[in-house]
Amino acid sequence: MGAERILLVDDEEVQCQSGQHLLERLGYTVVTASNSLEALDLFRTQPNAFNLVITDQNMPRLTGIELAEKMLHIRSDIPIILCTGFSEVIDGKEAKARGIQEFMMKPFSARQLAETIRRVLGERD
């Protein structure tokens, strides 16, 4: 359980909706974006409004790693969890080398996500 504010980014609207529902049940305030450029604009205008960003990797325009790099350039301490169901482009080791706290392969359980969020946010306390 948590009370932090999360920006959830996935180009599949159903993933945004289900992720938002799950995270809100866990006590988080969730803002969703189904477009990586929209997410970047939102983050750029309110960089301190979020405690955590969870983003999908495979999206049009900006991939999750590209989005993360741009967000980290704006706010270097923002914790980011990168999720993917398929990626030959990046793995957990590469994600961490680029400043991303966690890398999760889909599908993952609600419990795995909840534990990962608490671990990432706990490292910030």
The per-residue pLDDT for 2 is 75
CB neighbours of 115 closer than 8 A, spacing ≥ 6? none
Domains parsed from the chain with CATH numbers: 5-124 (3.40.50.2300)
pLDDT of residue 23: 96
- Which tens digits make up the pLDDT trace of 26-64? 999 999 999 999 999 999 999 999 999 999 999 999 999
Q: Identify the pLDDT of residue 44.
A: 97
> Which residue would you say has higher pLDDT here, 20 or 94?
20
Q: Which two tokens stand for residue 10?
A: 């996935």
Q: Return the number of other C-beta atoms located less than 10 Å from residue 102's C-beta.
A: 20
| Consecutive H or E run containing 117 | helix 110-124
Q: What's the pLDDT score for residue 123?
A: 64
Q: Name, in order, each residue with C-beta under 8 angstroms of 105's C-beta and a sequence gap of 6 or more.
A: 83, 84, 85
Query: pLDDT at position 4, please?
Result: 94
- pTM (two decimals): 0.93
Q: Over 90: is that where the pLDDT of 101 sits?
A: yes
Q: What is the mean pLDDT of residues 85-113?
A: 86
Indicate if the pLDDT at residue 89 is higher than 90. no
For residue 122, give the amino acid letter.
G
Long-range CB pairs of 104-110, under 8 A, 24+ apart, other chains included = 108/83, 110/22
Indicate the residue type of 42.
Answer: L
Q: Which residue has the tokens 């205008």?
A: 45
Band of the pLDDT at 121, cuts 50, 70, 90?
very high
